[in-house]
Every structure is written in structure tokens, then in C-alpha cells.
Structure 1
Amino acid sequence: METKDETAGPIILFDAECILCSANAQFVLSQDRSKRFRLASMQGEVGSALYRRFGIDPGDPDTMIVVDGERMLRDSDAVLSIYAGLGWPWKVLTVFRLVPRAIRDPLYRLIARNRYRIFGKRDSCWVSGPEYRDRLL
């Protein structure tokens, strides 16, 4: 039987109470035809442990992260790595890597800091449909 471990591919850590973040998680699950990504909410055991492992407070994160083995991407690099991993046509958005990180990351952080105010917050964590449960940690 296959086990869910940290070596089976990139893990996207997201805020399951954030409406924008949950919508992004749903988007990834529906568009990831190769089932490359797995997801974990920062509110869950796996997600909070990974945030702590990389020195980020899961109770007050300033970023979403993508963990691939020992490598961690954050801020705009994390978002762009997700689009790259989704393949065509989403991979075309990686053209934004041409924009310097010094411009991309402050814009990302501005949205991240204000995500509840702009997009709203759920009263409880988003839960995926049964067809995606095998990809959630």
C-alpha cells in the first residue's frame, strides 16, 4: 500500500480558512491532471509541522509555501512553481519570473497580509470533495 510521505512530490501549504487560498487549492486540484501536487492546510497537523520546520509560525503565516523534499519555495516563487507544475496552458504564467523578485514578492506579501480583508475568511476550514482526498495530507 502506498503511503503519503514527503518524498512523493511537491506539497502546497495553504490557509484553508482563506477564501482566496481555498479557491486556489480547488483550482490546483482540478487542473493538476498529472496529480503532481499534494496539498496540506496550515491548520492541519502536516501543514503546521512543515511551516514550523521552515521557521514560519503556522498560526500567523506571512506566505504560502511549496515543499519539495528538503527544498522550500515561498511567496511569488511558490506561486510560479505551482503554475509551472500544472503544465500547459498555466505554465505560460511563469513568464512573470522575468519580473524581479524584489517587485514580485512585495506585491505577493501585500495581498497575503490583506487576504481576509480583501477576499474573506471562512468560519471553518475548507474540505475537498471525496475525489481529491487522496491528494490532501
Structure 2
Amino acid sequence: MANARSIVVFDGECGLCNGFVAWLIRHDAEGRFLIAGSAGQVGKAVVDRAGLAPHITESTLLVWDGTGHVQSDAVVAVAAGLPWPWRAATALRVVPVAWRDAVYRFIAARRPRIEAEDPACGVPPPDLVGRWQSQLATWEDVN
């Protein structure tokens, strides 16, 4: 990667995913994470660069930091990049990945869906528009 910032690829049409990204932006005071909607060209490029199937982000969060982290490993990767108390969630690593991913898939299967005006990057809450846009990943961030 051109920089040390991780890229979070998410389903911009998913209400839960958009909510998670809004939460992430609010708690990522140091700007360690960039975001990319899975339907956009940058998001698709990250999925390709990670060597994953294109459909993976239809129900799975992807965190790219030179390695592709999906499902519960993606959640743990985000927690590792945030300050305390959120970093404490990295303790989930002691739980077997099969169990963590089963819980992740259970939640993902029941996630609320909302239509997004721009599925390439999701719909930010009005109070986060500026920060959301400033944290959008670009082509340079993928290479």
C-alpha cells in the first residue's frame, strides 16, 4: 500500500454496514482507516488486490492492510487500529475463528438493508459528510 492506512470495504447499500462505517469514522480520531464502498471502482480494486472473489463484500466486511481480513478477522483488525476501550475487542482473537465467523454470518444474514443514494460509498449521516468524504480511499491508496 502507498500509505500505512487500512482500507475498509463495505456494502454501501447495507444499513448496518453504513452504521458501522459512521461509528468507525466517529471513533477513528487519528484517521487510520480509509473507506470504500464495495460497488465503487476503488472498492472493487481492493477486493481484486486482496485476491478475493468479487461477491465477497455482498455480505462481508473487508479490511485491507496489505492482507485481506474478512468477517470477524476484519472486525478484530478494525479494533486493533482504534484507541482504548475499542482496542480491547482484539481479545476476541482467543475465540476460535470458526465460532467468531459463525456469529458474524448470523448477524450479516439478518442485517437491515436500506437503499443508498450512492452505493459506491454509502450514505453518510449529515454530521459526518465532510469526514466521510475525506476518508474515502483512492486509486493511489490501493497501489
* TM-score tier (shorter): 0.7 to 0.9
Query: Using the alignment, how far apart are the partners of 1:127 and 1:62 within structure 2?
Result: 18
Residue 58 of structure 2 aligns to a residue in which SS?
Answer: coil
State whether structure 2 residue 29 is matched by structure 1 residue 33.
Answer: yes
Query: Using the alignment, how far apart are the partners of 2:57 and 2:105 within structure 1?
Result: 13
Query: Using the alignment, how far apart are the partners of 1:104 and 1:60 within structure 2?
Result: 18
Query: Could you state the TM-score of these two structures normalised by the residue count of structure 2?
Result: 0.80
Residue 59 of structure 1 deviates from its aligned partner by 7.9
| Paired residues for 1:75-86 under 5 Å | 75-86=71-82
Which stretches in structure 1 are left out of the alignment for 5+ residues?
1-5
| Paired residues for 1:1-20 under 5 Å | 6-8=1-3, 9-20=5-16
User: What's the counterpart of residue 140 of structure 2?
Assistant: none
User: What's the counterpart of residue 18 of structure 2?
Assistant: 22
**Which among 55, 64, 68 is matched to residue 65 of structure 2?**
68
Paired amino acid for 2:113:
G
Say if 1:51 and 1:58, in contact at 8 Å, map to a contact too. Answer: no
Which shifted more, 125-134 or 36-45?
Answer: 125-134
**Change in 2 beyond 3 A, CA 1:133/1:84:** same
User: What's the counterpart of residue 130 of structure 2?
Assistant: 130
Say if 2:8 and 2:63, in contact at 8 Å, map to a contact too. Answer: yes
User: What's the counterpart of residue 48 of structure 1?
Assistant: 44
Query: Using the alignment, how far apart are the partners of 1:18 and 1:36 within structure 2?
Result: 23
Query: Could you state the TM-score of these two structures normalised by the residue count of structure 1?
Result: 0.83
Please report the RMSD computed on the Cα atoms of aligned residues, expressed in angstroms.
1.8
Query: Using the alignment, how far apart are the partners of 1:132 and 1:123 within structure 2?
Result: 15
Q: Sequence identity, in percent?
A: 34
Which stretches in structure 2 are left out of the alignment for 5+ residues?
138-143
Say if 1:42 and 1:58, in contact at 8 Å, map to a contact too. Answer: no
Query: Using the alignment, how far apart are the partners of 2:39 and 2:15 within structure 1?
Result: 14
Question: Aligned residue pairs: how many?
Answer: 128
Residue 106 of structure 1 deviates from its aligned partner by 1.6
